[in-house]
Structures are given as C-alpha cells and as structure tokens.
C-alpha cells in the first residue's frame, strides 16, 4: 500500500520483460479503468527469451510502428531484404552507404579483412575509432579476433558496462551486452556457426544497431571457397598475362 500509484505507465523494450514484471507494474496503476499502460516492444528482438505475451487484465490495443528513425535508408533496405523485416525509413533519413558484405574462407581470413577494413575507415575515411563497434557472435576466446589486441594504433577493448563513443579505442561486444545501444559503424562478425534462421535474427537485431554504416562478415562453404579460389586464380593468371603482353 505504500508503493506509489500512477495514472500512466510506459514500458520500453517490453520483449525483455518477464510476465511477473508486467503483473507487478499493473498493480501500480491508480485506476484499472481510466489509467493508461503503454508497452513498446519488438518480438523479434527477444534475445533473452522472456517474451510470452502481456499477462494483464487490460485488453491490449495493438498498433504496429514500422517507421525506422535510426538507420540509413541503405541499411533499412538491406535488413528488409536479408532479414525479412518490414521497416520504413524516416522521410529525412539519409540514403547512406551500401552495406558492406565480406565473404571469408576461415577465421584467419576474417580477422585479416576486419583489421584491414577498420584501418581503412580510421586512416583514410576520418572515422573515429570510438564510433566503431564490433559485434561478435562468439565469446572473445573463440572469436576470429581472439588473439587481436590492437588494430593499427588503437587498442581493441571490450565495451564493458558502458559504450564510450568518444573512446580512442575500437570496442567489441556481444549483442547481449550491446542490446538497446547503437553506434555509427557496426561490424557483425563470427557468424560461421549460425543457422539460416539464427543469421536472419542476428542481422535484424545486430544490423539495426548501426546508424550509418554496417559491415557483415559471412563464411563461405567449402564448395563456395573452392569456387572463389578458382576465380581468383583465373584473375591472377589473366593479370599476369596482361603484364607480360604490356
């Protein structure tokens, strides 16, 4: 009885709430008939597996909110196509740069490409290291970056409790840590063990963390890697032939 009562209760990230949390908060409404209870949620972002509906006595009124105010149009279009989402970009959202997809043969190849891409952004494109976040789909010890301590002149550090956008370091995290946050540039890595459905969910949840630029690293199958190697060998052969002719 000593707990305060409210005319309006608003919950964000409702998909992360457990049923008993909703029930407790419902009891804090002043009037079950006149008070308002708003829940904003995205069922596809239920990475903690808490979502089981809203167990309230109040009959909910649902309305979809599809307008995306965070990502560039290029990222929204990519996520709609690759992750099966149905978002609409905000009218004044910038077009942005296309999403960069890298297809890698193994962890060594992935680490090499990640380091190269990040160095290029910092050294040649005036991107601040603190604006880059690497989202790994494995623990650091199992990641392709497990042995990577620095990238260029910058340390590679864990986001920890807080994401520091003005940091002089490049930061990495898992989506469990980075949930609800965003960065200018996001690198999505270590996807080789994800199933097709898991990859779709990962793209939707992790890719939407990127405000301006998204890099996605995918693993080639053995067959795809063999085909890619043959193509590269043919390109090298033809380039060598052209040099000889020249």
pLDDT digits (tens, 9 = 90+) for 41-62: 888 887 777 776 676 665 667 8
pLDDT of 223: 57
Share above pLDDT 70 across residues of the chain, in percent, rounded to a whole number: 89
- Tokens 């630029």 -> residue: 213
Predicted confidence at residue 235, as pLDDT, reads 80
What is residue 87's predicted lDDT score, i.e. its pLDDT? 93
175-188 pLDDT per residue, tens: 989 988 999 999 99
157 vs 47, 130, 160, 235, 236, CA distance in Å? 23, 10, 8, 38, 38
- Residue 208 pLDDT: 95
Between 96 and 18, the more confident residue is 96
Q: Using alpha carbons only, give the angle 116, 231, 236 rounded to the nearest 5 degrees.
A: 70
Distance CA 176, CA 140 (A): 13
pLDDT greater than 60 at residue 172: yes
Averaged pLDDT, 134-150:
96
Predicted local distance difference test score (pLDDT) of residue 130: 96
- pTM: predicted TM-score of the whole model, two decimal places: 0.82
Tokens of 49: 């597996």
Whether pLDDT at 142 is above 90: yes
179 φ, ψ (degrees, to nearest 5): -55, 130
Q: pLDDT tens for residues 76-108?
A: 999 999 999 999 999 999 999 999 999 999 999
Looking at residue 23, its pLDDT comes to 84
Mean pLDDT of the chain: 88
C-beta separation of 165 from 193 below 8 A: no
pLDDT confidence tier of residue 17, bands split at 50, 70 and 90: confident
What is the model's pLDDT at position 237?
Answer: 76
């Amino acid at each position: 009885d000593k707990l305060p009562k409210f005319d309006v209760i608003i919950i964000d990230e409702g998909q992360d709430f457990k049923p008993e949390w909703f029930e407790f908060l419902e009891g804090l409404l002043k009037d079950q008939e006149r008070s308002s209870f708003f829940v904003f949620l995205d069922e596809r972002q239920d990475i903690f597996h808490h979502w089981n509906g809203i167990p309230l006595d109040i009959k909910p009124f649902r309305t979809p909110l599809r307008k995306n105010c965070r990502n560039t149009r290029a990222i929204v279009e990519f996520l709609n196509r690759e992750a099966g989402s149905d978002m609409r970009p905000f009218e004044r959202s910038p077009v942005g740069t296309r999403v960069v997809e890298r297809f890698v043969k193994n962890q060594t190849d992935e680490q090499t490409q990640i380091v190269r891409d990040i160095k290029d952004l910092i050294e040649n494109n005036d991107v601040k290291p603190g604006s880059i976040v690497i989202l790994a789909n494995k623990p650091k010890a199992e990641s392709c970056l497990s042995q990577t301590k620095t990238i260029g002149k910058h340390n590679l550090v864990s986001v920890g409790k807080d994401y520091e956008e003005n940091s002089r370091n490049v930061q990495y995290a898992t989506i469990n840590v980075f949930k609800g946050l965003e960065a200018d540039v996001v690198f999505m890595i270590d996807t080789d063990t994800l199933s097709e459905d898991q990859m779709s969910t990962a793209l939707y949840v992790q890719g939407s963390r990127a405000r301006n630029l998204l890099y996605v690293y995918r693993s080639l199958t053995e067959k795809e890697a063999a085909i890619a190697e043959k193509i590269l060998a043919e390109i090298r052969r033809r380039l060598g032939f052209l040099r000889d002719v020249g």
